[in-house]
Structure 1
Amino acid sequence: MKIAVIGGTGLIGSQVVKNLSTAGHEAVPHSKSTGVDIIGGQGLDEAVAGAGVVVNLTNSPTFDEASLAFFRTSMDNLLAAARRGGVGHFVILSIVGVDQVPELDYYRAKALQEKILVAGPIPYSIVRATQFMDFMDAVLSWTADADTVRLPATPIQPIASEDVADAVAEVAVGAPLNGIRNIAGPEVFPLDELGRITLSHKGDSRTVVTDPTAGMFAAVKGDVLTDKNARLAPTHYADWLS
């Protein structure tokens, strides 16, 4: 099967392409570097031509209000090209709890992406993942200074990017879900505790201060970024760190 992976050169996309290719599928990565512009529309018809499945793993360059326009335009363009090309299955990667954090512009933008897909003309699948283990360093950097890192105690259920790629590839070759599949890591941590574990593993002597107002995840109420009923991935955080 030919599968067009839009955003196929990124963290998740490159792994999805590798997984699909190893399984014997014709997985073709597309991105700006290959001449595909999902905002301007250039190269989209060629990218999806002959593909039975489109997997959209592109991401907004910003997390602010501009991300709403990015997902609206990119999804409109991709769905139109996929319809013209006769694509039978459209897959996106989203976030567990994305529709429950309207305070965050980026989460509202990802929720909009889902709504556009659901309302579109093509059978679809949405894979929602919890927070990537791979992004923990970035999370620490948002609220760090020379001596401390400030983090809220928001419950997080981190998942390895490799496990996310496995799940996306599995969904891509299956029948359209016309719904959502949640995937999550096997353990839940308060974000501040996850920060302490990460710094300790790295030999970083900075202190993690629990601050309910610090960083993007301060806007998250309760445990909406976790899901005990999700399909649990195999990789534990300690093993991933090692």
Structure 2
Amino acid sequence: MKIAVIGGTGLIGSQVVKDLTAAGHEAVPHSKSTGVDIIGGRGLDEALAGADVVVNLTNSPTFDEASPAFFQTSMDNLLAAARKTGTGHVVILSIVGVDQVPELDYYRAKTLQEHLLADGRVPYSIVRATQFMEFMDAVMSWTSDADTVRLPATPIQPIAAGDVAAAVAEVAAGAPLNGIRNIAGPDVFTLDELGRLTLSRKGDNRTVVTDPTAGMFAAVKGDVLTDEDAHLAPTHYTDWLS
């Protein structure tokens, strides 16, 4: 099976290409560096020519009010190219609980992306993942100083990027879901608890202060970013830290 991976040189995309290739598929990575511009549309028709499946792993360069325009334009261009070339399956990566946090511009933008795909007249699959383990340092950096890291007690279910890539590759190689598959890590933590664990394992002496107003995840209500019924990945956060 020939599978075009747009955004195929990034954190998830490069691993998706590796997993698909190992499974015997012809997985071709595409990005701006290979001449494919999903916003301008340049190179998309050529990238999708002869492809059975296209996986779109491109992401908005910002998380603010500009992000909806990115997903609107990129999905319009991708779906037009898929219809033109006859590509029979479009896969995207989204976020568990994304439609439950309308307070966040980026989450509204990703929800828009899902709706555009579902309405796009091409068979599709949406893989929703929980928060990446790899992003924990960035999350802490948003609300930290030399002595303190402030984090809300938002429940999250961290998943390793490698496990996300494996799940995306599996879905891409299968029949279109025409729906959503949720994937998640095996353990649930509150974000402040996860911060303490992370700092402790790294020998970082900063103090984590529980602050319900701190950072982007302060806007999340309840446990919408977790899913006990999701397909659970094998990697535990403590093992990943090691």
Give the TM-score normalised by structure 1: 1.00
Match of 1:26 in 2: 26
* SS at structure 2 position matched to 1:12: helix
Counterpart of 1:232, as a letter, is L
Q: Which consecutive residues of structure 2, in runs of 5 or more, have no partner in the other structure?
A: none
The reply to whether residue 140 of structure 1 matches residue 140 of structure 2 is yes
1:73-116 deviation line (CA, Å, top 9, x unaligned):
00000000011010000000000000000000000000000000
Measure, in 2, the Cα distance between the counterparts of 1:3 and 1:83.
Answer: 15
- Compute the displacement of 1:121 (Å): 1.4
Listed one character per residue, the Cα deviations across residues 22-42 of structure 1 (whole Å, up to 9, x for unaligned) are 111100000011110111110
SS in 1 for 2:128: strand
**RMSD across aligned C-alpha pairs, in angstroms?**
0.3
- For 1:215, the equivalent position in structure 2 comes to 215
Counterparts of 1:16 and 1:99, CA distance in 2: 25
Partner of 2:36: 36
**Structure 2: which amino acid aligns with 1:8?**
G
The residue aligned with 2:62 is 62
- The structure 1 segments of at least 4 consecutive aligned residues displaced by more than 6 Å after TM superposition are none
CA drift of 1:56 comes to 0.3
Instruction: Map 1:95-114; keep pairs closer than 5 Å.
Output: 95-114=95-114
Paired position in structure 1 for 2:53: 53
**Which residue number in structure 2 is paired with residue 92 of structure 1?**
92
Q: Could you say which residue in structure 1 is the equivalent of 2:5? A: 5
AA aligned to 2:43 is: G
Q: Residues of 1 paired with 2:174 and 2:37: CA distance? A: 27
- Mapped to 1, the partners of 2:19 and 2:81 lie a distance apart of 25
| Match runs of 1:69-218 below 5 Å | 69-218=69-218
Report the Cα distance in structure 1 between the residues aligned to 2:56 and 2:232, rounded to whole angstroms. 22
Other structure's SS at 1:13 match: helix
SS at match of 1:3: strand
In structure 2, what is the Cα distance between the partners aligned to 1:34 and 1:202?
37
